[in-house]
Amino acid sequence: MDELIKNVDVKEMGRRFKLVRQRLGLTQTDVANQLDTTQLMIHRIEKGDNILSPLFLAVILFYSRSVSLEGLLGKNFDIEDESLFSKDYALNSIVKAKLNAIRDEYLDKLKEAENGFKEQMDAAADLL
């Protein structure tokens, strides 16, 4: 199994994103539209300038719909390797499950906060 990159090289990840995007026949504008951002932001990520943004993670998730994360993040990345575009994404499934669990956890916390806010508003209204 391909060893995953231990220390993410920002420029290398940007290069990989660009290669995958081009292989999928997408423009930077196409990706930007899918992620509700600008073409300039996608350009910056592909150049390695914008690694510390939530958008960087969104780009990884966007490409995980089409390519294996193991291949994309692998030490021996090869855009010509057809298995990169395989529909067997075991690692993607794990990552997606974890992201869904995190989302569910935050939705639960958000619901708790909403209920607490409603209770506080009701209590404040009762004081009037």
User: Average pLDDT of the chain?
Assistant: 83
89 pLDDT tier (thresholds 50, 70, 90):
low
Separation of alpha carbons 35 and 26, rounded Å: 13
Per-residue pLDDT for 2 more than 50? no
Q: Which neighbouring-strand residues pair with 74?
A: 4
Residue 7: which pLDDT band, with cuts at 50, 70 and 90?
Answer: low
Q: What is the dihedral of CA 68, 74, 80, 85, to 10 degrees?
A: 0
Give the model confidence (pLDDT) of 49-70 as tens digits.
866 678 888 898 888 888 888 8
Which residue from 71, 76, 92 is spatially nearest to 23, judged by alpha carbons?
71
Reduced to 3 states (helix: H, G, I; strand: E, B; else coil), residue 30 is helix
Is 10 or 95 the better-scoring residue by pLDDT? Answer: 10
**Residue 56 · residue 45 · CB < 8 Å:** yes
Predicted TM-score (pTM) above 0.85 = no
